């Protein structure tokens, strides 16, 4: 003889089961960690690289670090800490703005973003990269229990290395110098060119960038008008000399020198030589 359990009893059991499971999950201890994923490979990463040389208008910039918690959300704010590891070569106040004492994980949220402000004004960054290693720390409201996910490494500089593509397009670009490369980034409209000439369809675009760049080098005092909307200016010093810079980063200036041979002004590279088109 078959026995039937009343429907209302089954429903009551299911409701009790779901409620109990929800309570257990809600009461599970949470853990905070850095949530980094490579957008292309969809794999976890913990290192970031940044060069101020590619962003000439900036003397500082902000890296946003995503943070996440395991477990369920709560209806109250919680707080977590991040410390600078002793192995870091970046100096607070010189290479980055000191971190806050703690950061908030908002109520009813499992995610937060931590801004790390990098400073690019140290002259040594043009020759040396520094590293900022950050470690997640436990707090009474948010422990850090995932050692494989509790660190973030930011390596940054103002370094420029001669790119491979400069040799490929040297007929258009001329002799390489660091200053010339920096001026290319600021005035050509791009930060890089193709690494070979196999794609003939890219050639017109390359020529647009290189000839725009060369036109600026040929007559910067006139061509500066094409770059004012981007924040670039050329100003005259009291001694009659000229300097080129971005108003967003006025400490980084490029002097021009008058050339008596042709009566024109040219930029000067790191060795004191004229930067010719």
In angstroms, the CA 129 to CA 158 distance is 7
Question: 115 and 183 in one domain?
Answer: no
End-to-end CA distance of the chain: 99
Identify the domain boundary among 107, 131, 157: 157
- 252: closest CA among 51, 50, 49, 52? 52
Residue 45 maps to which CATH number?
Answer: 2.60.40.1740
Q: Give the tokens for residue 85.
A: 């590891």
Q: 157-184 b/e with 16+ CB inside 10 Å = b?
A: bbebeebebbebbeeebbeebbbbbbbb
Q: Are residues 152 and 41 in the same domain?
A: yes
Does residue 142 belong to any structural domain of this protein?
yes
SS3 164: helix
pLDDT (0 to 100) of residue 12: 39
Q: Torsions phi, psi of 154, nearest 5?
A: -115, 120
- Report residue 12 as tokens: 């009551």
| Whether 47 and 152 share a structural domain | yes
The pairing of beta strand 31-34 with beta strand 60-70:
antiparallel
Residue 186 maps to a domain:
yes
Q: Which among 135, 157, 179 is the end of a domain?
A: 157
Contact yes or no for 205/183 (Cβ under 8 A): no
Together in a domain, 97 and 173: no
Q: What is the per-residue pLDDT across 95-149, written as a single tens digit (0 to 9) for each? A: 999 999 999 999 988 899 999 999 999 999 989 999 999 999 999 988 888 888 8
pLDDT in tens, 211-248: 999 999 999 999 999 999 999 999 999 998 999 999 99
- Mean predicted lDDT score pLDDT of the chain: 87
pLDDT per residue over 65-103, tens digit each? 999 998 888 889 999 999 999 999 999 999 999 999 999
- Which of helix, strand or coil describes residue 123? helix
Q: What is the CA radius of gyration of the chain?
A: 28
Rounded Cα–Cα distance for residues 90 and 106 (Å):
29
The angle at the Cα of 152, spanning 147 to 155, to the nearest 5 degrees, equals 145
Q: Are residues 77 and 139 in the same domain?
A: yes
Residue 23 binned pLDDT confidence (cut-offs 50, 70, 90): very low
Looking at 127, 142, 157, which one is the last position of a domain?
Answer: 157
Tell me: do 146 and 239 sit in the same domain: no
Domain annotation covers residue 12: no
For residue 187, how far is the Cα from the chain centroid? 21
Question: What's the maximum distance between 2 C-alpha atoms anywhere in the chain?
Answer: 114
In which domain, by residue range, is 48 found?
30-157
Please indicate, yes or no, whether residues 173 and 230 belong to a single structural domain of this protein.
yes
pTM for this entry: 0.72
Q: Report how far residue 17's alpha carbon sits from residue 268's, in angstroms, rounded to the nearest whole number.
A: 77
Q: Does residue 1 lie in a domain region?
A: no
Which H/E stretch holds residue 81? strand 78-84
Domain total of the chain: 2
Which secondary-structure segment (H or E) carries 206?
helix 203-218
| 213 located within any domain | yes
Question: Which position has the token pair 């806050």?
Answer: 100
Spatial CB neighbours of 46, under 8 Å, sequence gap ≥ 6: 34, 36, 149, 151, 152, 153
Measured in degrees and rounded to the nearest 5, phi and psi for residue 49 equal -125, 135
Residue 46 phi, psi dihedral angles, 5° rounding:
-140, 5
In a domain, 3, yes or no: no
User: Can you read off the two tokens belonging to residue 221?
Assistant: 């005092």
Contact 231, 248 (CB under 8 A): yes
């Amino acid at each position: 003889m078959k026995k039937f359990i009343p429907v209302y009893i089954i429903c009551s059991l299911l409701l009790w089961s779901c409620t109990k499971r929800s309570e257990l999950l809600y009461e599970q201890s949470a853990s905070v960690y850095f949530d980094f994923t490579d957008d292309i490979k969809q794999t976890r990463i913990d290192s970031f690289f940044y060069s101020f040389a590619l962003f000439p208008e900036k003397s500082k910039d902000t890296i946003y670090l995503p943070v996440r918690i395991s477990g369920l959300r709560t209806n109250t704010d919680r707080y977590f800490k991040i410390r600078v590891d002793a192995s870091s070569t970046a100096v607070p106040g010189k290479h980055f703005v000191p971190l806050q004492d703690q950061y908030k994980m908002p109520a009813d949220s499992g995610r937060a973003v931590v801004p790390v402000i990098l400073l690019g004004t140290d002259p040594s960054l043009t020759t040396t990269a520094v590293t900022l290693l950050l470690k997640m720390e436990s707090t009474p409201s948010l422990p850090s229990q995932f050692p494989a996910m509790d660190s973030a490494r930011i390596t940054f500089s103002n370094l420029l290395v001669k790119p491979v593509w400069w040799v490929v397009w040297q007929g258009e670009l001329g002799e390489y110098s660091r200053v010339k490369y920096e001026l290319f980034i600021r005035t050509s409209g791009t930060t890089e060119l193709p690494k070979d000439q196999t794609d003939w369809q890219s050639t017109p675009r390359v020529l647009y960038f290189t000839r725009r760049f060369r036109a600026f080098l040929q007559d910067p005092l006139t061509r500066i008008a094409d770059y004012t909307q981007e924040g670039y200016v050329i100003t005259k010093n009291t001694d009659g000399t000229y300097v080129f810079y971005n108003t967003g980063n006025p400490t980084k200036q490029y002097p021009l020198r008058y050339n008596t041979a042709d009566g024109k002004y040219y930029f000067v590279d790191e060795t004191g030589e004229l930067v010719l088109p």
